[in-house]
């Protein structure tokens, strides 16, 4: 049996990946400091799979806590989600982001090395591409970040690339997520943002359930079909399955690979809003506002490498993503308790 340590395993993408891992026959150990999630998520994972992952409430900055996990469990691979992830917040408190996302991650990698665990899947982001020169975006495109959060993702990629070049026994898969949305079809797992959501779909969900008055559309003067921003939205369950494919690939290969996880299809803000109206059966109010600083017009993935290397491609379209998001929202108006 292969045992996988999932850091940040009670978070949005982490919890969905735990479900996919258990259903694929892996043993799962979860590490989380519960800064941005809560332990009740473990019970939801158990309700879906029949298995409650072994849990350690640990911070990746706590080296002794990390050592204990590796001493008490034979960890064969790590999927590393733990990290702060709010773009705007990272501009306000950069040192907190660099300490947690860089120092914490290096702590984890050092611990893995010391315990001879040299297989890692890392949660990176399409944000490392900055404003792309063209679309679709492929993995060989230039990288450029415009905020501390994105910088920590790119720095982790560089650290892990250097680590693989220093020791050929390492395997590292850097998964560059586009825009994860949606929820598990059971409605037991989903995205629970802290406070007012920054991201589009969690905000629309709050408008749909009456918690927010209307959607602020950040600009409709972009060079896109309807003037609003275009992004590559990917179902979180497709994203989770991509991690299983990455682990299987890592079991057969050494070295570092960076791979886009997206659908290869771009949808505008208004197209997503209309898809959500279909899902919830209501007309959703919105107002056109000024552009949001730092936003780009269009971003969507070239997905050929994921298909070629991992044999993976996204299965779900925008309607299913919105239906599953709405189902979770209706069943969990106050999040997961
Ligand atoms: C999507 C589109 C907005 C909110 C961010 C991070 C990225 C990744 C995914 C972690 C844009 C528009 C949004 C709203 C709006 N996260 N929008 N009104 O900015 O593409 O990516 O989340 O890795 O790193 O940068 O996602 O959902 O914030 O915005 O009009 O209330 O929706 O302008 O066009 P983004 P988003």
Q: How many domains are contained in the chain?
A: 1
Residue 284 maps to a domain: no
Pairwise CA distance, residues 298 & 308, whole Å = 25
Q: Residue 199 Cα, ligand 1 centroid: separation in angstroms? A: 5
* pTM score over 0.75: yes
Ligand 1 pocket check for 161: Cβ under 6 Å: no
Burial class (CB in 10 A: 0-12, 13-18, 19+), 287: exposed
Three-state secondary-structure class, residue 28: strand
What is the pLDDT, as a whole number, of residue 1? 67
Domain range enclosing 126: 3-181+232-262
Residue 297 maps to a domain: no
Q: What is the CATH number of the domain that holds 246?
A: 3.40.50.720
Pairwise CA distance, residues 219 & 295, whole Å = 10
Direct distance between the N- and C-terminal alpha carbons of the chain, in angstroms, rounded to an integer: 31
256 contacts 172 by C-beta, under 8 angstroms = yes
Site of tokens 């209501």:
282
What is the pLDDT, as a whole number, of residue 194? 85
Residue 289 maps to a domain: no
Q: How far is CA 159 from the centre of its chain?
A: 19
Residue 253 maps to a domain: yes
Residue 86 maps to a domain: yes
Residue 325 maps to a domain: no
* Bridge-based pairing state of the strands 3-7 and 298-299: unpaired
| Pocket mutation for ligand 1, best pick of 295, 296, 298, 299 (most atoms within 8 Å of C-beta) | 295
Per-residue pLDDT of the chain (337 residues; tens, 9 = 90+): 699 999 999 999 999 999 999 999 999 999 999 999 999 999 999 999 999 999 999 999 999 999 999 999 999 999 999 999 999 999 999 999 999 999 999 999 999 999 999 999 999 999 999 999 999 999 999 999 999 999 999 999 999 999 999 999 999 999 999 999 999 999 999 999 888 999 999 999 999 999 999 999 999 999 999 999 999 999 999 999 999 999 999 999 999 999 999 999 999 999 999 999 999 999 999 999 999 999 999 999 999 999 999 999 999 999 999 999 999 999 999 999 9
- Could you say which of 12, 56, 84, 149 is catalytic? 149
Ligand 1 pocket check for 198: Cβ under 6 Å: yes
Residue 57 maps to a domain: yes
The protein residue whose alpha carbon is closest to atom 21 in ligand 1 is 179
* 97 catalytically annotated: no
What is the pLDDT, as a whole number, of residue 259? 99
């Amino acid at each position: 049996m292969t045992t996988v340590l999932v850091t940040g395993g009670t978070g949005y993408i982490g919890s969905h990946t735990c479900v996919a891992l258990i259903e694929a026959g892996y043993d799962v150990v979860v590490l989380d400091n519960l800064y941005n999630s809560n332990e009740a998520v473990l019970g939801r994972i158990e309700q879906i799979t029949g298995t409650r992952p072994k849990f350690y409430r640990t911070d990746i900055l706590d080296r002794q806590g990390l050592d204990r996990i590796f001493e008490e469990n034979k960890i064969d691979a790590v999927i590393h989600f733990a990290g702060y992830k709010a773009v705007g917040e990272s501009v306000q408190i950069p040192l907190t982001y660099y300490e947690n996302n860089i120092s914490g991650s290096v702590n984890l990698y050092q611990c893995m090395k010391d315990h001879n665990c040299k297989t890692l899947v890392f949660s990176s982001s399409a944000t490392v591409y900055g404003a792309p020169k063209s679309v679709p975006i492929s993995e060989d495109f230039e990288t450029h970040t415009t905020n501390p959060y994105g910088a920590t993702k790119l720095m982790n990629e560089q650290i892990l690339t250097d680590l693989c070049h220093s020791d050929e026994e390492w395997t590292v898969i850097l998964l560059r997520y586009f825009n994860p949305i949606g929820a598990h079809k059971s409605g037991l797992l989903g995205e629970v943002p802290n406070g007012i959501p920054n991201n589009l779909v969690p905000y629309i969900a709050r408008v749909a359930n009456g918690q927010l008055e209307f959607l602020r559309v950040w600009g409709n003067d972009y060079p896109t079909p309807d003037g609003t921003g275009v992004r590559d939205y990917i179902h979180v369950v497709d994203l989770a399955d991509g991690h299983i494919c990455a682990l299987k690939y890592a079991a057969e290969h050494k070295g570092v690979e960076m791979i886009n996880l997206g659908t290869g299809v771009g949808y505008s803000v208004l197209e997503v809003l209309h898809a959500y109206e279909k899902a919830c059966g209501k007309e959703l109010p919105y107002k056109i506002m000024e552009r949001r600083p730092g936003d780009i017009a269009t971003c969507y993935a070239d997905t050929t490498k994921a298909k070629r290397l991992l044999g993976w491609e996204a299965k779900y379209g925008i309607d299913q993503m919105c239906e599953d998001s709405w189902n979770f929202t209706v069943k969990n108006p106050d999040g997961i308790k």
